[in-house]
Amino acid sequence: LGMNNFINAQGFGMTGMLTVSIGAVLNLILDPLFIFVLHMGVRGAALATIISQGISAIWVLHFLTGKKAILTLSLAYMKLDFRLVKEICALGLAGFIMAITNGSVQIVCNATLSRYGGDLYVGIMTVINSVREIITMPVTGLTNGAQPVMSFNYGARRHARVKSAIKFTTIVCILFSCFMWALLLAFPRFFIHMFNSEPELLAEGVPAMHLYFFGIFMMSLQFAGQSTFTALGKAKQAVFFSLLRKAIIVIPLTLWLPTVGGLGTNGVFLAEPVSNFIGGTACFVTMIFTVWRKLDDSLK
């Protein structure tokens, strides 16, 4: 997965997609074979994953050492340039912090839900997180895919193309998240049924899902703004807005809202949309004033 970015950055998007697809499809085939046919149980599932990842890694190495790659892997290029290492780590820190804060939010959410609602609501949050992954993965994929395009054109001083990429990413992400929000409002039971079919969880899960995903399109502004900061080398802004939405807004709200007006578990589920509106707006508006306007000025 790490070296796959080297393939995508060279413009071989289809090959990069095949890297992920090969591992996933092979895992889907080997899992039932090892678990049910060869009766290997959990060990079979683990072995299937290892084999799939191994073959995917071989695929990447073969491409990056072959003739099709523009920039190939070579020991001659393995010397570290600490100036570049510093820049890479600074930009990668935003994604790292987002992952860390997501994990921290889950710990706080589960602890708070367990206190106010018990195991049932912890189960509901588990289902909601799985549904959220379905929504955020395409958005993440699109914003990540746009970053090399923005970076290349920014470096080449083709600022009109950078603006087009920002605009396209923002509009498509908003439209997609609005579409998914409409589906969640119309068919909440369908999404919950994908992961759990217990009647009690369904009954309590539907209103919880409506609260949690309210205004989910605002999340797209966060993703679009943050990916723009990262693509254009604005590491400080990217890191700050990674921390803002989750660590500074969600975690305190998750702890505080359940105590307000007897909200209880509803307060935990409300923390997410509140953070989306505040964090998404703050990130995107800051990007407009600090990046978009400068791109406008450079075009004059």
Summarize pLDDT for 11-36 with one digit per residue, the tens. Answer: 888 888 888 899 899 999 999 999 99
The rounded distance, in Å, linking the Cα atoms of 131 and 82 is 41
Using pLDDT thresholds of 50, 70 and 90, give the confidence band for residue 286.
Answer: very high
Q: Enumerate long-range contacts of 271-275, CB under 8 Å, 24 or more apart.
A: 271/109, 272/212, 272/213, 273/211, 273/212, 273/213, 273/214, 273/215, 273/216, 273/218, 274/249, 275/245, 275/246, 275/249, 275/250
Q: How much is the pTM?
A: 0.79
pLDDT value at residue 78 = 83
CB 174 within 8 A of CB 220: yes
pLDDT value at residue 299 = 55
Q: Residue 296, SS3?
A: helix
Quick check: 56 pLDDT over 60? yes
pLDDT in tens, 126-154: 999 999 998 998 998 899 888 888 988 99
CB 233 within 8 A of CB 87: yes
Mean pLDDT of the chain: 90
Point out the least confidently predicted range of 94-103, 154-163, 238-247.
94-103
Question: Which amino acid makes up residue 151?
Answer: S
Radius of gyration of the chain (CA): 22
Quick check: 10 pLDDT over 90? no
